[in-house]
Amino acid sequence: MSVFRTRSAAALFAASLVLVACGGGGGDSSVPPGTPVSGGGGSGSGGGGTPSDPASKIDTAEEASRFLARATFGGSKSEIASLTGRDAADWLATEFSRSRTLTMPALLSQPRDTEGRLQSNRVDHLYWDHIITANDQLRQRMAFALSQIVVYSDAADNDQLMRAYYQDILIRNAFGNYRDLLEEVTYSPAMGEWLTYLRNRKGDERSGRMPDENYAREILQLFSIGLIELNMDGTPKLDAQGQQIETYTNDDIEGLARVFTGLSWAGGDFNDQPQDGDIRQMVMYPEQHSELEKVFLGTTIAAGTGGDESIRIALDTIFEHPNVAPFISRLLIQRFTQSDPAPAYIESVAMAFETGRFTAQGGRSFGTGQRGDLEATLAAVLLEPTIFEEPNAGATITTGKVREPILRFTHWARAFDISGVDAGNERRLNDTRSSDNSLGQQPFSSPSVFNFYRPGYVAPGTGSGAQNITVPEFQIVNESSSVGYLNFMTDFVFERASQRDRDIETYAPDYSDELALVDDPTALVDHLDDLLTGGRMPDAEKVDIVDILQTIEIRTNSAENTAADQEDVVQAAITLVVNSPSYAVTW
């Protein structure tokens, strides 16, 4: 198979460089551009079907594949078949009602060593297994999206229980209310330790000590309102001089920092962590809470107000800010459907957030009617009529979403119905961010509270950058990460990833449907196009892959050699598709 190894490696490397050429480089912006250029908003017929069909009617398997790539960790063959012919709104309603898959119960059931310690990386292993196999795919995907907005990272510590507790906050609140989510996040020991306000003491004039301002700053900048005032469609508000208006000042941060004083572990004292403190909400220690007046965002909390009451008032004030709806809506759209959403799309989603209601074109209603309802908000994100429309020729640079590496890996795993789902046996899944042969991204291991990539990132020196199009995911795309992803995916597709116990087959894909097409490379590639890219792969790209497959010799001197070579053809085809530009983008 030396011909395959030479030709396919070159082709895969070339495919990775296509992405690098589109998104490499540095540059940064945490502020959304004033006039995004992608399509969005309004209504359209979408898909096929009759004129009376809602845009969200899923008429073909290709449409089902595309929708599931946006809404889940990738569609399996059975899920694609089940969704075809249905309205996506009905699918959403079913997903919203599914029971949730939590992390902590699974983690607590894991075996421990003689000293009562969990196996290293067990929470990471469970996370991979759950997002690939869990029945509540929409909830798990929403929790993943929220983990990139209210960012907590355990990259610097290994408290698995604390991490599991935080994950479950996101999972439980995924379809709840954003105000409730903010409160649980605020009192979580994971966030308290990550953003250094756990054991945050009140100021002391004599020593000059000031309350820690970290959480006060990040809850405003990243978790709720952002840096500049926004219209409901996400565009910046301008003052009389045509300048953008800042949402807060340093005085606001100083006032808000006083609010988040006095919180520490539950069940112990202020300075010492009890045994179960990492899986319980933090509590207020009144003697350590600032008794001073707290002024921020036009709100004044009177001197002497208790700590928990101060936090309640502060969270209410933040949540009621008019920026929250467009700011959070834009972030959620970016995590699911479009890297650079248009103002009309943002406004539609923001209105669902603001009213707590969303009604799909087919008439199905979502949400409780309370502001901040995430079910209504997510329904508006995924049922936006324009995302079901066929893009115009040449429009792909301004539509769709670049998929982060985690989503591309899980899509492969789900599409080919992997068996032996036990990430604990897969060495490569211990750390998928740091090595030269990794995805370049690992869940809950962001290098900073700003996530892996900033929402306003515009890649310099690129076609998208020239049009001021935000593509956050391009911030982690470069020559090294592209080759790392290529190697990681190739090893899993070819089932040669390193395993702890090689006598146990884990993360093993089922390629039986693909092997049935091995004698017709064109049909095989067409099938993979439908399954993995939703039928959006350009003809030229498919022709290139077919040309490579036809260079692979299939020996006929024995049944064993023929079967081995046929499997090589299938694995080569899949490897080329999952490393293609078409697979990296959903639209």
Look at residues 129, 110, 119 and name the one whose alpha carbon lies nearest to residue 423.
129
What digits encode the pLDDT tens for the residues 485-501?
A: 999 999 999 999 999 99
Residue 117, pLDDT above cutoff 60 = yes
Nearest Cα neighbor of 280 from 267, 298, 297 is: 267
Go through the chain and tell me how many residues it has: 587
Q: What is the pLDDT of residue 437?
A: 85
Kindly tell me if the per-residue pLDDT of 17 is higher than 80.
no
Please answer whether residues 327 and 226 qualify as being in contact, where contact means their C-beta atoms are separated by less than 8 angstroms: yes
Percent over 70 (pLDDT), the chain = 90
Q: What is the pLDDT of residue 504?
A: 94
Tell me what pLDDT residue 351 has: 98
- Residue 19 confidence (pLDDT) above 90: no
Q: Running DSSP on this structure, what letter comes out for residue 225? A: S
Annotate 70-138 with three-state secondary structure: HHCCCCCHHHHHHHCCCEHHHHHHHHHHCCCCCCHHHHHCCCECCCCCECCCHHHHHHHHHHHHCCCHH
Please determine, for residue 26, whether its predicted confidence score (pLDDT) is greater than 50. no
Residue 1 has pLDDT above 70, yes or no: no
pLDDT at 434 over 90: no
Query: Average pLDDT in the 167-185 region?
Result: 98
* Whether the predicted model's global pTM rises above the 0.85 cut: yes
The 3-state secondary structure of 1-40 reads CHHHHHHHHHHHHHHHHHHHHHHCCCCCCCCCCCCCCCCC
User: H-helix or E-strand containing 283?
Assistant: strand 283-284
Q: How far apart are CA 321 and CA 317, in angstroms?
A: 7
pLDDT value at 162 more than 80: yes
> Of 83, 93, 42, 90, which Cα lies nearest the Cα of 63?
83
Residues with Cβ within 8 Å of 496's Cβ and at least 6 positions away in sequence, in order, are none
Q: Rounded mean pLDDT of 49-57?
A: 78
Q: Which of 584, 242, 181 is nearest to 402 (CA)?
A: 584
Q: Is the pLDDT of residue 393 over 70?
A: no
Which pLDDT score is estimated for 156? 75
Distance CA 383, CA 89 (A): 7
Share of the chain above pLDDT 90, in %: 82
Least confident among 84-93, 95-104, 381-390, 510-519: 381-390
Q: Identify any residues that bridge with 499 across adjacent strands, giving them in sequence order.
A: 426
Q: Could you read off the pLDDT of 199-250 as tens digits, one per residue?
A: 999 999 899 999 999 999 999 999 999 999 999 999 999 999 999 999 999 9
Using DSSP, state whether 285 is helix, strand or coil: coil
Query: pLDDT for 246-286, tens place per residue?
Result: 999 999 999 999 999 999 999 989 999 998 999 999 999 99
493 φψ region: left (φ > 0), alpha (ψ -120 to 50), beta (else): alpha
pLDDT band with cut points at 50, 70 and 90 for residue 398: low
> In 10 A of CB 496, how many CB atoms?
10
CA distance 291 to 294: 9
- Split at pLDDT 50, 70, 90, the class of 46 is very low
pLDDT of residue 10: 41
DSSP for 311-375, please give it. HHHHHHHHHTSTTHHHHHHHHHHHHHT-SS--HHHHHHHHHHHHHT-EE-TTS-EES-SSTTBHH
pLDDT at position 31 = 37
Average pLDDT score over the chain: 90
Q: Which residue has the higher pLDDT, 225 or 400?
A: 225
Confidence of residue 478 (pLDDT cuts 50, 70, 90): confident
Determine if residue 47 is left, alpha or beta; phi over 0 gives left, psi from -120 to 50 gives alpha, anything else beta: left
**Of 294, 289, 295, 282, whose CA–CA distance to 307 is shortest?**
289
Q: Which amino acid is at 72?
A: T
Confidence (pLDDT) at 3: 35
